[in-house]
């Protein structure tokens, strides 16, 4: 189990939990909406109420991770924690070697030697568990900082894109049903994740990072609506 924790500890781009960010995304976006005036302004024309509702979806987790800024910062974070990853691997290897020794030699060791070996394993296990927990918390905290910073800049873009394109409701689909109230949606028709990512990349000016450390120019949004086409068609539905 510890080896699994070790392997996934630094898988920042694919596995980090953004549940707290996703849960607050609606609040953040709402905070960027223009506030209603305290009293009616008689000279302002009445805003027509849409006769139909246009609903869109966005995967906040995917959007944050797909931005050039998010990819760049997650790669830098992973590089930063490589020494810690190596340290944890060495601790894990030492612990596994002692456990193997206990399994193969416990019948041959005298009482004192056996007791000392078990005590060493217990002590190193506690140290390793604590090291893994500390590393996970530190990585998670810095991942959260990256995600929160990007979301704070992305939220106004989501609001503006939605207003410019006539959406009356945008739903976050970072989680699937039953964790999310959204049972089913047609991403091809209503998902705006890629459009928002393209707008973010163009406005941030951050070039797209590559595994080798070089960068590609940031993608500009398509003309017209100011956003690229939606992501490749997919349909998501609740598990049976």
- The mean pLDDT of the chain is 76
| Chain segment 176-224, per-residue pLDDT in tens | 888 888 888 887 789 999 999 999 999 999 998 876 554 444 444 433 3
Q: Could you tell me which of 236, 153, 240 has the C-alpha nearest to residue 200?
A: 153
pLDDT at residue 183, rounded to an integer:
81
Average pLDDT over residues 151-167: 95
Rounded Cα distance between 54 and 142, Å, is: 36
Rounded Cα distance between 189 and 176, Å, is: 18
Q: Coil, strand or helix: which one is 235?
A: strand
Percent of the chain whose pLDDT exceeds 70:
66
Q: What is the DSSP string of 186-207?
A: EHHHHB-HHHHHHHHHHHH-PP
Rounded Cα distance between 34 and 41, Å, is: 15
Cis peptide before 178 (omega within 30 of 0): yes
Tell me if 150 sits within 8 A of 203, measured CB to CB: no
């Amino acid at each position: 189990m510890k080896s699994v924790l070790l392997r996934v500890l630094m898988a920042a781009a694919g596995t980090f939990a953004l549940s707290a960010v996703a849960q607050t995304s609606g609040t953040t976006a709402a905070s960027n909406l223009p506030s209603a005036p305290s009293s009616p302004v008689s000279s302002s024309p009445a805003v027509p109420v849409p006769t139909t509702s246009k609903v869109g979806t966005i995967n906040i987790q995917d959007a944050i991770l797909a931005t050039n800024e998010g990819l760049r910062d997650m790669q830098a974070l992973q590089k930063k924690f490589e020494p810690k990853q190596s340290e944890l691997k060495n601790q894990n290897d030492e612990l596994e070697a002692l456990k193997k020794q206990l399994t193969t030699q416990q019948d041959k060791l005298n009482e004192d030697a056996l007791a000392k070996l078990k005590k060493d394993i217990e002590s190193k296990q506690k140290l390793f568990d604590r090291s893994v927990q500390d590393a996970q918390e530190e990585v998670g905290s810095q991942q959260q900082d990256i995600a929160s910073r990007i979301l704070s800049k992305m939220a106004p873009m989501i609001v503006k894109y939605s207003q410019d394109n006539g959406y009356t409701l945008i739903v976050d689909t970072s989680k699937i049903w039953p964790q999310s109230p959204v049972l089913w949606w047609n991403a091809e028709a209503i998902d705006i994740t890629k459009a928002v990512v393209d707008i973010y990349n163009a406005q941030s000016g951050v070039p797209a990072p590559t595994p080798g450390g070089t960068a590609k120019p940031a993608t500009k949004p398509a003309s017209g609506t100011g956003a690229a086409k939606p992501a490749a068609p997919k349909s998501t539905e609740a598990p049976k």
